[in-house]
Amino acid sequence: MQRRIEPEILDELPPSDPRAIHSRADLRRLNCLMRHVDILCAASARRLPRRPQHLADIGAGDGSLMLALARKMHRRWPGVRVTLVDRQQTVSAKTLKQFGELGWQAKTVAADVFDWLQSARRPDAIFANLFLHHFPDAKLAEMFRLIAGRTDFFLACETRRTVPLFLVSRVLWLLGCNAVTRNDAVISIRAGFADQELSAMWPDRGGWKMEEHGAMLFTHLFVAHRAT
């Protein structure tokens, strides 16, 4: 299946639109079913060389995925600062408060990811969840160049571009997903990744170690960390 990128409806809806609110709830449920938090926790715990002090999440959406990660990791990683980066401001005050209750300090940044990466303070790790598939290869290569200049550790969970997953996306109505989610799921799988496609776009393969493969049933995992 050839990689193909098309606009997704959720990206164009105002955050307060009822369809967007429903779709974000769908995505929280799908992230849980795909076990993305477990995948991110396992990969970062295995590969991060030391306890992080500052994490960033690009394309953070409503912040729920990083909050779930914080719930699992806050005892192992106390006192972490989290920067949630997204073009739209959809992180609620309640979510920010819940980070604080875990001893983590979270802040939101409403910005284009390329603008943020050019001026951001250097986090210990940058995470991305279901975000990279929105970009064509040339923009991903540019993003990776900026990320490599800002951190020593990058981890992403993405859609796996396979025919079986494409077929599964056609029956999301069984889970109560709305029309926005059902439409965008098909598009995201067509724009997803396979084999070593993301590794091939990384700018400095000699100075980094990379891991790229399927994870669980539906996810494409990519990890890049600076060689020591």
For 10-56, the pLDDT digits (tens) are: 989 998 999 999 999 999 988 888 899 999 999 998 888 788 999 99
Per-residue pLDDT, 151: 95
Residue spans of the domains in the chain: they are 15-226
Q: For strand 81-86 and strand 219-226, is the pairing parallel, antiparallel, or unpaired?
A: unpaired
Question: Which of 2.70.180.20, 3.30.70.60, 3.40.50.150, 3.40.50.300 would CATH assign to domain 15-226?
Answer: 3.40.50.150
Q: Who has greater pLDDT, 202 or 162?
A: 202
**Within a 10 A sphere around the Cβ of 145, how many other Cβ atoms?**
15
What is the rounded end-to-end Cα distance, in angstroms, of the chain?
A: 37
Exposure of 50 by Cβ count < 10 A (0-12 exposed, 13-18 middle, 19+ buried)?
A: exposed
Nearest C-alpha neighbor of 74 from the set 36, 47, 37: 37
Q: Is the model's pLDDT at 119 over the cut of 90? A: no
- Assess whether pLDDT exceeds 90 at residue 65: yes
In this prediction the pTM is: 0.92
Is the CA virtual torsion 91, 78, 128, 146 positive or negative? Answer: positive
8 Å CB contact between 57 and 84: yes
Task: Write out pLDDT tens, residues 151-183.
Answer: 999 999 999 888 777 777 788 877 889 999 999
User: What's the rounded Cα separation, in Å, for the pair 99 and 206?
Assistant: 37
